[in-house]
Every structure is written in structure tokens, then in C-alpha cells.
Amino acid sequence: SPSSTSDGATSDGKLKANSLAAIQEAGVLTVGTEGTYKPFSYHEDGTGELTGYDVEIITAVADKLGVKAKFEETQWDAIFAGLEAGRFDVIANQVSINDERTAKYDFSKPYTVSPGVIVVKDDNTDITSFADLAGKTTAQSLTSNWYELAQKNGANVEAVEGWAQAVALLEQGRVDATVNDNLTFLDYEKQKGDTGLKIAAETDDPSLNAFVFTKGNTELQQAVDKALDDLRADGTLAKISDKYFGSDVTQ
Amino acid sequence: MTESLWELLLRSLLPIVGGALTGTIPLALLSFALGLVIALGVALMRLSRIRVVSGLARGYISIIRGTPLLVQLFVIFYGLPSIGIIVDPWPSAIIAFSLNVGGYAAEVIRAAILSVPKGQWEAGYTIGMSRGQTLVRVILPQAARVSVPPLSNTFISLVKDTSLASLILVTELFRQAQQIAAFSQEFMALYIEAAVVYWVICLVLSSAQSVLEKRLDRYVAH
Amino acid sequence: MTESLWELLLRSLLPIVGGALTGTIPLALLSFALGLVIALGVALMRLSRIRVVSGLARGYISIIRGTPLLVQLFVIFYGLPSIGIIVDPWPSAIIAFSLNVGGYAAEVIRAAILSVPKGQWEAGYTIGMSRGQTLVRVILPQAARVSVPPLSNTFISLVKDTSLASLILVTELFRQAQQIAAFSQEFMALYIEAAVVYWVICLVLSSAQSVLEKRLDRYVAH
Amino acid sequence: MSPTDPLAPEPVDAPIEAPLLTARGIRKSFGDVEVLKSIDLTVPRGNVVALIGPSGSGKTTVLRSLNGLEVPEAGTVEFSGGDVVDFAQAPSKRQLASLRDRSAMVFQQFNLFPHRTVLENVIEGPVQVQKRPKAEAIADARALLERVGLGAKADAYPFELSGGQQQRVGIVRALALKPQLLLFDEPTSALDPELVGDVLDVIRELAAEGWTMVLVTHELTFASHVADTIVFMDGGVVVESGPPSEVLQNPREARTKQFLHRLLDR
Amino acid sequence: MSPTDPLAPEPVDAPIEAPLLTARGIRKSFGDVEVLKSIDLTVPRGNVVALIGPSGSGKTTVLRSLNGLEVPEAGTVEFSGGDVVDFAQAPSKRQLASLRDRSAMVFQQFNLFPHRTVLENVIEGPVQVQKRPKAEAIADARALLERVGLGAKADAYPFELSGGQQQRVGIVRALALKPQLLLFDEPTSALDPELVGDVLDVIRELAAEGWTMVLVTHELTFASHVADTIVFMDGGVVVESGPPSEVLQNPREARTKQFLHRLLDR
Ligand SMILES: Nc1ncnc2c1ncn2[C@@H]1O[C@H](COP(=O)(O)OP(=O)(O)OP(=O)(O)O)[C@@H](O)[C@H]1O
Ligand SMILES: Nc1ncnc2c1ncn2[C@@H]1O[C@H](COP(=O)(O)OP(=O)(O)OP(=O)(O)O)[C@@H](O)[C@H]1O
Ligand SMILES: [Mg+2]
Ligand SMILES: [Mg+2]
């Protein structure tokens, strides 16, 4: 990649897209997100404005940077391709930090710290720990780190598109469990009331989710980190978290 | 949970139809129109006696039909920027879809041109027309007739394929359904609702096809 | 990170081709074969003089062609359980794809049957054959010839459409590519790799088409 | 195993005096247009009846009605020794099949099966429909093909033959069924002028051998040589009929005269 | 505006003695088969030349070579007052176009434009190619159609016409170009026997009015009445040629005799 000077300009003097300087000059931070991932990134009532936990936090971050957040919605498949192609400056979509990703991208400080849970049917008594997943079938979204976790514990993993399909399979008795973010399940219960599902176990180590930048976009990453620190300090993060989850999941 | 499934479906209809009107339909119409122009060019190249020209057309058709549309969209929208070409979502979608239609329709148009009896070319030549004049005034009007049914198949497929455009940031019918499904977790119901809207669009297209076929059939014995 | 992109692509080739061999290709072959049987039945129904019968066939074709394949797959896999019918991934995929092929190919077969001159039916009748005998021994062998090119289009589309089967838990070519892409984060590269594999499959199909066309053309003046 | 004379018609049991075929009061409309207005036709066994008349007069429709390719609204067709098929009573499939079993048709456009070789075309009916042993059917077919000069073409596909050769295969395909009645609809009008002769020669031979035939033709000279009876049709009715010497040489009706004049004067 | 006699050919400036068309040494092969083996043909102005000969002898190929639909490997075609088109030199598009501008062809299968009405078929050449004013072209076309008895069919589509009517439109479409030479390739052989007369009548009239024509035909009686010269071809060569009284009544060559015998004896 072309060497960039510290103010984000390339050697030929033009501003490099996605650099902090370019973003500030344009006054717009372009954010890639799914828009179909409740409660993190979704549309109000399904048909209204884009909203959600991630959306609100990155909007607050953009405020701190003195720019407007502009959202581009696409599917998970395309979200990293979009970041690399310079279509977005940052991804805000509950991306968890893992080794493969840190090798390719830069992450902000985490803004969600939440354990993974095993969700099973109410009447299931076989599964009470992650070790019990061995030989069981779980439904996982291919793109989440929960897929890896279930696989590591010996589960037979069926890849589905998302939470809704995983739950459908679970309810239809076609899989034994699904592993996902605690928060996702809580939101689902909040919406559906009695779901006939329960949490069978929780991970020891929480997963850390953060904003994603292209490798080497250090100025932007540092600016966002600083904004996150400020938002944490002034209680904004806790407030947003409380609004969605009734507790502070940001640390 | 406070709202019944029917209320949800009713409430969803407006945005889904809206997605059809502002996304699916203009995208499909525009791409189809451009695609036909490309297809005509490619079909004529494919019919050329110059090896290189017809080889190029063959290669184009083979790649377009042999690879998934999803990847074609991906390459144009997310791949081209790596060589410095950045195209906006709508133009990208239109480029990808019309190139795609161009590949499929080229074969239809080629077959239609070949289906016009050789005697029609000769009749054109013997009244003094050039190759181009004969093509435009004699052959294509007749080729149009036989190509309407297969082209309308291509069009109907295109209408449904436009749902892939959401991948490159274009909001259309299916994307709307997905959004509502994500919120309400009722993906099955909303997908069926979307399917019904697609079906209505395709029914309208099919009747347009019948009308067109009748019009083009007026000079043929029944 | 420690491995270069080329190493990744090379390492991916085996699982992707494996996905093609164990998923894409058997799924496409099986669905196509079953789909042809359905299509023949639907085409004959569509040609029936009995209004209700041809109406049923029309409705089937209209719904199959007018709604997205994705939704058809979802209805069978996720929708049927709500009325107590649970079908496994592979059978679901084969049902959905063969019903889909059945709708598209029915129109092709119908057109091909109609393209056989009426005199061939009459020749069959006058040597004493029944309608069924004439259909099987006289009409279908001739209809086969004209329907090979459009049916191979349907087949090629099917090959690429089987990637949707991953949505209902069938592992095939594209799913393998997605999986590797998700872990390596190299979406663009792996999608292009998958496209190349699709392209190779389609090239093989196209040459099989040529061979078949030649074989069926042996009794026709060139 | 193969008959000594493959061109000779099958013997029939009915008394020799009864006409082989009797059609009475055949009426047929297409949409609003009445194309046949009560046609009567008698075909004595061993006779050749030639239908002539202007284009659109209904000749083809008469022929097609005789073997049920067209189903008239009224009228009867009766083969000697068989059922009376009454079209006014909506004939059953079995009845239509019985008409087809007794007759065989040679088409203007040949209508050979393009995907089968000459031999396969000929044995299709005997083997698939009449369920005769294949070896026997092949032997008969070869003998018949030999007789019309096509012995060497048994394994050719129809597209490899000239029009005249194709039509001779069409005739052999009909003969192989050993029908009681042969129907010819303008068997030479799709042929190049020079190829006509070959086919007419074959028909001439068949007539000489005693086959019963109804043929539609524009070849008046030929008809006058080969036919026992000429039937002149116009506008869906039989205007006059009789031996060639009467109808062709001394027509009674003005319409007949006018037609003959038009066709012969060139 | 419309000419007084729409059927009369355009006057030409060249001296009256020179033949309108001279073709020399035309050779043409398809693949390995040499179909024309050095054909010479001279067509005097105002004459009618009839090409006869067995199927496959090369008659159609000669005709198509004269207007460049077929490009021979060798030979020259020259219109009086025009370029010598030498096929051995790979003629340019302009040269082929000049052949087509001077002649007009009437096809065996008519080849009318099915998507255009009769009138549109006729004015297509004059308006689109010759760029004549549309009103004038229409007036001429109507006069010509009137002359061949199709005045009432100007707005019909080809499929609404009988074969004979379609062929007359084909002739009018050619005449409307006011060509110096009319080429006819078996103009009646795709017609029902009864419709042949109408078309032959039109050609007879054109001959009487002094049009120069080359026609391929199997209608020997007609050819003997209308042609100034009969050219008998076989196997890609001209076997003999001369006035009908010689070639048809007193052929010198054995092959001619055999051919005439075959076609006339029925
Ligand atoms: N299937 C049909 N539908 C409508 N009209 C028909 C049909 N078949 C024949 N006719 C009409 O019936 C009349 C008689 O037709 P038919 O073919 O029996 O005449 P033909 O004497 O055999 O004439 P040709 O010498 O031209 O073959 C014609 O007016 C024809 O247009
Ligand atoms: N395009 C072609 N390709 C190959 N062979 C051809 C082609 N056109 C004509 N021939 C062959 O050239 C020979 C002469 O054909 P041509 O059509 O000129 O004969 P013709 O005298 O017009 O015969 P007919 O009376 O049957 O129309 C024939 O043997 C024919 O098969
Ligand atoms: Mg007839
Ligand atoms: Mg010819």
C-alpha cells in the first residue's frame, strides 16, 4: 500500500480516502453495517430509521469527531470487501476481535463485552456446559466467531444465515442448540416473550466486539478510541447500553 | 408481539412495494434496456465471420453465463476500486445487470436472427439494400417476433435477480422484506410476502409479453 | 497472514472442488433429472384441451417462475415444519430445485413439442399408433433436438442456483468458498475462485451440450 | 416367410361384390364454413378412385375423413365386413382406430419420421402397432423397398433421399401395414417435376396389381390412365363422377369443363 | 407523376445493338464440387432467355451469379454501358451493388417481407434504396399492383394472399425498381397447379412489353411460347442453346432429347 504521511496524505499529496483528514474535510464518517442485525443494527419497526446499539454508539463517536455518520447497509459477505474497497471508513456491526481479523484489520477498543451463551429448548437437560456440545448439532451463522467456538467444543455445526434461522431450526427440533451472543438472546426474549428457549451455559471468557478499520489507518483508529474513552467518561456509552440491554455491557 | 402477524404484513406492504417501485422495477427496466443493446452488439459480433470478433463474443457470453451474478456484482463494486475505479452503487448495479442480460440475451437474439430465412437477406440484397439496411429493416423486425418469449424469460429472471443489488447498497424489494424480517424475526412470513409482490410484477410482465406477442403476430397466419 | 493469498487460494481449491463434487454437481444433476420428468408432465398438462388441467399447469408455471427460488427453498425447509412436515436439507433442496426446473423446463418442452410438425402426429396415427405411442416414439425424439439448447441454459442456471442450497444447510461449492472467506476474510479472492470453478463446470456442460446436439442432429441435413 | 409378391394386397374374406368402402352423407365444417356438404363415395374392391377439383374444394378433407384424421359432424363410413362408423354419434376411439387399421395414407409432404432410417420408418407400424415379429417385418420391408428400387437405401435417413425417393418410402410405409385401402393425397405435388415420374410409376404398378386406392391428384393425364372412377368436386360437393372417358373427355357439367380447361390449357 | 405505362421498362441510353448483359467463363464451386464449369451467356436487350435443365444442373447458380448473390471464382459479367465485373479479381461491394442495381430478382419462394404490407413491400426498394419521393413511389406501386390485378390488396399482409398473388407481388416488387434486367427463378414451382396460370400470364405480358428477362423454368410449353432463346444446361455446362423451335422441337444433343422426353412423357 502507498506510504502515507502522518496527516493522511499520500506521497503525491492527495488525501488518502478513509484517512482521518479526509473524513474531517468531508465532514462525513461512512459506516458499513448490516441493518438487519437486531438489536445492534436494524430499522425501527422494521420499516423506519436505521437504529440499534452499534448505530447509536458510532453516531456518538462521529459527533465527538465533529463529523456526521453516514450508514451504508449491506450483507455480511460484502462488509469486509466494502471496507477494503474504501466503500466505508469503519464497520460497526458487532465484529468480534479474533486472530484472523487482527491480522488483516485494525480494531478500536472494544465497546461490547458480553459472554456467549448456549441456547437450547426449555426441556433440554442434556446440555449444561460447553463440553456437552460434543456430538450435538448446533446452528451457527457462518460469519460469527460463535461458529468457531461451537466447532472447537466438538459440536456438529450447521451453517445458517442468521439468528432467526438458527432459532427456527432450534424450535423445529432440527438442531440441539445454538451458540450466540447473550445480548442477542436477551433481545429476542424481550421481543417474543415466552420463547420456549433457555440459556444452558455461558462462556467463561466474554467476546470483545469493536469497530473495524483498514490496516494502518492508525489516525482514525486512535481518534475513535479517544472518542470512545470520552463517551465512556461522560456516561454516554453506559446510557446507550442501558437503553438496549438494561445493563452496561460496554466493559 | 403486541402486533399480530397480519398487522405486520399489512404494515410491511407499503415499504416492500415501495422498494419494488424505487429499486427493483427501475433497476430491472433500465438494465434490461441497456442489456438488450449490449446483447444485439454481442450477437452481431458472435455472427461475424471474423474469427477474433466472434471469439471475443463467445468468451464474453461464456464468462457471463458461467459465473454467478453475485460474483459479477462483487467484482464490479468491491473489486474495481482496487485498480482505482470507483463506481457508485446504482451505476454498478446497472452495469453488472446489463452486462449479465447482455450475455444471456445475446444468444437469444443470435438464434432469432438465424431463424429468419436466408431468403429474407437475399430479398433485401436484391432490392439493393446493404447488409446493415437489410438487418435493420428486414431481419430484426422478424427476429423480434421469435425472441419475445425467451427474452421475457430473461426479463423475469432479472426482476428476481435484482435482489442481489442489496449486496452493493441498493435498496430494493427484497431488502425491505429482510429489514422487516430482522426486526420482527418473522422471516418466513415476510419472504412469502415479498414473493407475492415479485409474482405480481411477473404477472404484469407476462401480460405485457402477451400483448407484445399479439402485436408482433399480426402479420402471421394463425 | 503467514500464508500468502496464493497459498490460501491453492489450499481452498480442494474443498471448493470437493463442494462441487459432493454438493453442487450431484444436486444439480439429480434435480435436473427429476425436474425434466416434472416438466414433461406439466408440459403435457399445459397442452391438454381440458381447461382445468391446463389451468393448473399454467398456475404452477406462473408461481414457479414468478417467485424467487430462495423463497421456494425457504418455504419447503423452514415453512413446511409449521404444518408438521419436516424435510431434511438434501431432500428439501432436491424438491425445491426440481420443482423449479419443472416450471422453467415445462415451457421449453411445450414449445419443442409444438415445434414438431402436425404431420408427424398424423403420420403416427395413420400407421395405427395411439396418442401416447406417437408422443413417445415420434414426437419426443424430435422435440428433444430443439429443446437441447434452451434446456442446457436451464441447467447452467441451475448449477449456479444450487449455491442457494447453502441457506438450507446443504454444503456445496459456494458454501465452501464462503466458509473459507469468513475465516480468512478474503471474500473477493475466494468468490472469484468459486466463480472460476463454476465457469469450468459450465464449460464442461456446454461441450456436453455440443456433443448431444451433434448426436441429435445426425438425422438432419446440414 | 416373406410373401412371394410383397406388392400384392392382402386377400379379404367378404364377398367380392360388396364395395370395399362406402361413405354416405359426410358433412364437415371448420368454424362457420361448411367445407363438405354431404359427400357420398363408393370404392369397389380393387378399384382406383381419383378425386379431382379446384383448390379448397374439399378433396383433402374427404380423404382425411375416411381414416378419421378429420372427424366430420355427420355421415357414415363403412368398410365391407366392418362396423358402420356413424360420425353423428361421436365415434369412439376404437371405431376411429378400426378405420385407420384398414387404410393407410400417403401424404403430400411425405411425413416420414426424420429420426428413423428408411427401414425403421417402414417397420414401425408392423412391429409397434401390429406386433408382428421384427425379423419378419424387416424381411417384408426389405422386399418392398427392393420392389420400388430403394433396396440400397434401407439404412439411409430421410434427409439423405430425394423427394421422389422419400415419397416412395412413404408408399412402402403404407404398404407394409397391408391395409385394405390406400389413400394418397397429392403424392407428387411436393416433388420436383422430374421426380414425379418415379412415384407415378409405383402407383401405376400398385393399381395394376389390384390394390384399392383413393387418390387426390392434379395430374389429369395420369389419373385418366390409372383410375377406374374420377370424382370431380367443387365447393364441398361432388359435381360429377364416372369413368375417365366420361368425366375427363366428355364432362357433362359446365364447372367440370371450366376446371379442365384451366388446368390443361397452358 | 405516375408513368403512363407502369409495365414498360425504363429506356436505356446505350446503342440498341449491344447485348444488355454478357457473362463469360463463369465458374463456381461449392466445396470440392464444381457446379458451373465456364458458363457463357448473352442476353440481348428486350429478349427473354429461358434456362432449362435437370435438377442440380446449375440453373439457379447461374442466375444468382448474375446479380452477385453468389460470387463465382472466375468469369466476368458486364452490363452494356457499365463496368466489367471480373470475379477472378474479388469484386468490390460497389461492383456487386452495381449488378444488383441493374437487375431485380423474383424468387421461387417469393421471399416477400412478411412484416410489411403489399404496398410497403413494393415501395421498400424505391424509397429506402433509390431514395425516390415516397408519394411518387406509392403512386407507381399502386399503378403496378393495379396492372397485375392486385389493386385491392395493397394493404394486405403477405400471409393473407394466395401463393399466386404473393408471387405477383414479388414480380411487382422487382418491377418497381425499374431494373434493366429481370431474373426469375422457377417463379411458379412453389404454386398450386391452378395458380400457376396467373403468374405465367403476367410474365407473358412483361415479355410482350419488351422487358429483358432471364428465367429458369420447368414449364416447357410456356417457355417455348415466351422465350427468344432457350438455354439447356446439364452438369454445370451449357449443352445447347438457340431459339425454342430448335432446342425444344429439334434438339441436336442426345442429353437434351433425353431430358425433354422425361419431362414431357407422362
Ligand atoms: N383445419 C382447417 N381449419 C379451417 N379451415 C380448413 C381446415 N382445413 C381445411 N380448411 C378449409 O376447408 C376447405 C377445403 O379444404 P381442403 O384442404 O379439403 O381442400 P382441397 O380440395 O384439398 O384443396 P387443395 O387442392 O388446395 O389441397 C378450404 O377452404 C380450406 O381452407
Ligand atoms: N450453397 C450450396 N452449397 C453446396 N452446394 C450447393 C449450394 N447451392 C447449390 N449447390 C449444388 O450445386 C448444384 C447446382 O445447384 P443449382 O441450385 O444451381 O441447380 P438447379 O439447376 O437450379 O437445380 P433445381 O432445378 O433443382 O433448382 C447442385 O448439385 C447443388 O446441390
Ligand atoms: Mg388438399
Ligand atoms: Mg434451382
pLDDT in tens, E151-166: 999 999 999 998 999 9
* Cβ(D189) – ligand 1 distance below 6 Å: no
Average pLDDT of span E178-190:
92
Strand pairing class (E181-185; A42-43): unpaired
pLDDT category at D12 given cuts 50, 70, 90 is low
Residue D148: per-residue pLDDT = 92
Structure confidence by residue, pLDDT tens digits, A49-108? 999 999 999 999 999 999 999 999 988 878 988 998 889 999 999 999 988 889 889 999
Looking at per-residue pLDDT, the higher value among D81 and B222 belongs to D81
Among A246-250, B126-130, B201-205, C32-36, whose mean pLDDT is lowest? A246-250
Which residues, in sequence order, are CB contacts of C172 under 8 Å at separation 6+? C19, C20, C22, C23, C24, C27, C162, C163, C165, C166
Distance from C-alpha of C85 to C-alpha of C65, rounded to nearest angstrom: 24
pLDDT of C216 > 90? The answer is no
Residue B158 amino acid letter: L
Residue D18 has a pLDDT of 83
B192 lies within 8 A of chain A by CB = no
pLDDT at A15 > cutoff 70: no
Q: Which residue has the higher pLDDT, D189 or D119?
A: D119
Shortest distance between the Cα of B160 and any Cα of chain C, in A, equals 6
pLDDT value at position E6?
55
Mean pLDDT of B169-198: 90
C-alpha distances (whole Å) from D181 to each of B176, D53, D79, D110 are 71, 21, 10, 18
Q: Is the CB of A78 less than 8 angstroms away from the CB of B182?
A: no
pLDDT at residue number B1:
47
**Average pLDDT of the segment spanning A195-211:** 91
Quote the pLDDT of residue A239: 95
Q: Which helix (H) or strand (E) holds E185?
A: strand E181-185
Q: What are D130's three cell numbers?
A: 401390429
Query: Is residue D55 within 6 Å of ligand 1 at its C-beta?
Result: yes
* Ligand 2 lined by E60 (C-beta under 6 Å): yes
pLDDT of residue E182: 96
User: What is the Å distance from ligand 2's center to E61 Cα?
Assistant: 6
ipTM given for this complex: 0.84
What average pLDDT does chain E have? 90
Res. E14: pLDDT tops 60: no
Q: Is the CB of E65 under 6 A from ligand 2?
A: no
Ligand nearest to the CA of E61: 2
Quick one: pLDDT at residue D3? Answer: 43
User: Which of B132-141, E57-66, E216-225 is the least confident region?
Assistant: E216-225
Q: What is the average per-residue pLDDT within D110-120?
A: 95
**Which protein residue's CA is at the shortest distance from atom 10 of ligand 1?**
D30
User: Minimum mean pLDDT among A98-107, C154-163, C181-190, D171-180: which range?
Assistant: C181-190
pLDDT in tens, E85-142: 999 998 888 888 888 989 999 999 999 999 999 999 999 999 999 999 999 999 999 9
Report how far apart the first and last C-alpha atoms of chain C are (Å, whole number).
58
Nearest-neighbour CA in chain D from E259: distance (Å): 9
Ligand 1 nearest-atom number relative to CA D62:
18
Domain annotation for chain E: domains and CATH numbers: 21-111+184-264 (3.40.50.300)
pLDDT of amino acid D208 = 93
Top residue of C126, C129, C134, C217 to mutate, by most chain D CBs within 10 Å, is C126
Q: What does the pLDDT average to over D46-50?
A: 95
Ligand 2 centroid – CA E62 distance (Å)? 10
Q: Where are the beta strands (DSSP E) in A46-150?
A: 50-51, 68-73, 90-96, 105-107, 112-114, 116-121, 137-141
Query: Which pLDDT score is estimated for C217?
Result: 81
Task: Provide the b/e sequence for A190-206 (b: ≥16 CB within 10 Å).
Answer: eeeeebebeebbebeeb
Q: Which of E113, E116, E119, E175 to mutate to test the interface with B (most CBs of B within 10 A)?
A: E113
What φ, ψ does residue C133 adopt, rounded to 5°? -60, -45
The bridge status of strand E21-30 relative to strand E33-43 is antiparallel
- Give the model's pLDDT for residue D16: 57
User: Does the beta carbon of D4 sit less than 6 angstroms from any atom of ligand 1?
Assistant: no
Q: What is the mean pLDDT of residues E49-53?
A: 95
**Of all residues in chain A, what percent are helix, strand and coil, respectively (each to 5)?**
40, 30, 35
Residue E60 pLDDT > 50, yes or no?
Answer: yes
Q: CA-to-CA distance for B152 and E31, rounded, in angstroms?
A: 41
Ligand 3 center–CA D196 separation, angstroms: 17
User: Does the beta-carbon distance from E114 to B142 stay under 8 Å?
Assistant: yes
pLDDT digit string, tens, across residues D26-36 = 999 998 899 99
- State chain A's mean pLDDT as an integer: 89
Nearest to A21 by CA among A77, A66, A73: A66
Q: Fold for domain B2-219?
A: MetI-like fold (1.10.3720)
Q: For chain D, how big is the Rg over CA atoms in Å?
A: 18
For strands E181-185 and E212-216, give the pairing.
parallel
pLDDT band with cut points at 50, 70 and 90 for residue E10: low
DSSP string over D141-207: HHHHHHHTT-GGGTTS-GGGS-HHHHHHHHHHHHHTT--SEEEEESTTTTS-HHHHHHHHHHHHHHH
When pLDDT is averaged across residues A102-120 and rounded to a whole number, the result is 93
Percentage of the residues of chain C whose pLDDT score is greater than 70: 98
pLDDT at C4: 84
pLDDT at D6: 55
- Annotate D195-206 with three-state secondary structure: HHHHHHHHHHHH
Question: In this complex, which chains have at least 3 CB pairs below 8 Å with chain C?
Answer: A, B, D
Mean local confidence (pLDDT), C94-115:
94
Element housing A178 (H / E) = strand A178-181
Q: What is the pLDDT of residue E77?
A: 94
**Binding site membership of E133 for ligand 2 (Cβ less than 6 Å):** no
D30 touches ligand 1 (CB under 6 Å): yes
Higher pLDDT, E179 or D264: E179
CA-to-CA dists, residue B82 to A69, B91, C211, angstroms:
24, 17, 41
Burial class (CB in 10 A: 0-12, 13-18, 19+), D148: buried
Task: Please tell me the distance from the alpha carbon of residue B64 to that of residue B46, in angstroms, as a whole number.
Answer: 14
Query: Nearest to residue E20, comparing CAs of E39, E57, E47, E60?
Result: E47
Residue D194 has pLDDT above 70, yes or no: yes
Give residue C178's pLDDT. 87
User: Residue D9 — very low, low, confident or very high, per pLDDT cuts 50/70/90?
Assistant: low
Read off the pLDDT band of E195 (50, 70, 90). Answer: confident
Q: What is the model's pLDDT at position D219?
A: 86
CA nearest neighbour of E158 among B142, C118, B132: B142
pLDDT at res. C5: 86
Answer whether A89's CB lies under 8 Å from A213's CB. yes
Residue with the nearest Cα to atom 2 of ligand 2?
E30
Nearest-angstrom CA–CA distance, B40 and B140? 10
Q: CB B198 to CB C66 under 8 A?
A: yes
Phi, psi of D206 (to 5 degrees): -60, -40
Tell me whether residues A101 and C185 touch, CB distance under 8 A: yes
Instruction: Identify the residue among C110, C191, C207 best suited for mutation to test binding to B, counting B beta carbons within 10 A and taking the highest.
Output: C191
Instruction: Return the partners of chain A (3 or more C-beta pairs < 8 Å).
Output: B, C
| Residue C86: alpha-carbon gap to chain centroid | 24
CB-based neighbours (< 5 A) of ligand 3, an ion: D 60
pLDDT above 70 (res A4):
no
How far apart (Å, rounded) are the C-alpha atoms in residues B23 and B175? 10
**pLDDT per residue over D218-235, tens digit each?**
888 899 999 999 999 999
Confidence of residue D243 (pLDDT cuts 50, 70, 90): very high
Would you state the cell numbers that stand for residue D19, as one nine-digit string?
A: 364395395
Q: What angle do CA E160, E164, E166 make, to 5 degrees?
A: 50
Percentage of chain E lying above the pLDDT 70 cut: 92
The β-bridge relationship of strands A207-214 and A90-96 is antiparallel
Confidence check: pLDDT of A136 > 50: yes
Mean pLDDT throughout A27-47? 91
Is C in contact with D (3 or more beta carbon pairs below 8 Å)? Answer: yes
Q: What pLDDT is recorded for position B83?
A: 86
Of residues C78, C86, C188, nearest to A165 (C-beta): C78
Q: Return d(Cα A84, Cα A95) in angstroms, integer.
A: 15
More confident residue, E14 or C143: C143
Q: What is the atom index within ligand 2 of the atom nearest the CA of E61? A: 18
Among candidates C67, C62, A46, C100, which has minimal Cα distance to B197? Answer: C67
Rounded distance, CA C185 to CA C189, Å? Answer: 9
User: Residue A112 in contact with residue A250, Cβ under 8 Å?
Assistant: yes
- For residue E10, what is the DSSP state? P
Q: Which of E192, E222, E266 sits opposite D266 (nearest CB)?
A: E222
Do the bridges between strand D103-106 and strand D74-79 make them parallel or antiparallel, or are there none, so unpaired?
unpaired
With an 8 Å Cβ cutoff, are C178 and A158 in contact?
no
Which of residues D220 and B33 earns the better pLDDT score?
B33
How far apart are the C-alpha atoms of A141 and C175, rounded to whole Å?
12
Q: pLDDT per residue over E233-266, tens digit each?
A: 999 999 999 999 999 999 999 999 988 887 765 5
Mutate to test the pocket of ligand 2, among D159, D192, D195 (most ligand atoms within 8 A of CB): D192
The whole-number pLDDT of residue C222 equals 55
The grid coordinates listed for C79 are 415453512
Q: Do B192 and C79 touch (CB under 8 A)?
A: yes
Residue E35 beta carbon below 6 angstroms from any ligand 2 atom:
yes
Region D54-76: mean pLDDT is 93
Confidence class of residue C2 from pLDDT cuts 50, 70 and 90? low
- Identify all chain D residues contacting C129, using CB atoms and an 8 Å cutoff: 125, 128-129
How far apart are the CA of C142 and the centre of ligand 4, in A?
A: 29
CA of residue E163 to ligand 1 center, whole Å: 15
How is chain B split into domains, by residue range?
Answer: 2-219
Residue-wise pLDDT for C65-89, tens only, equals: 999 999 999 999 999 988 888 899 9
- How long a stretch of residues is chain E? 266
- Work out the average pLDDT over C163-174: 89
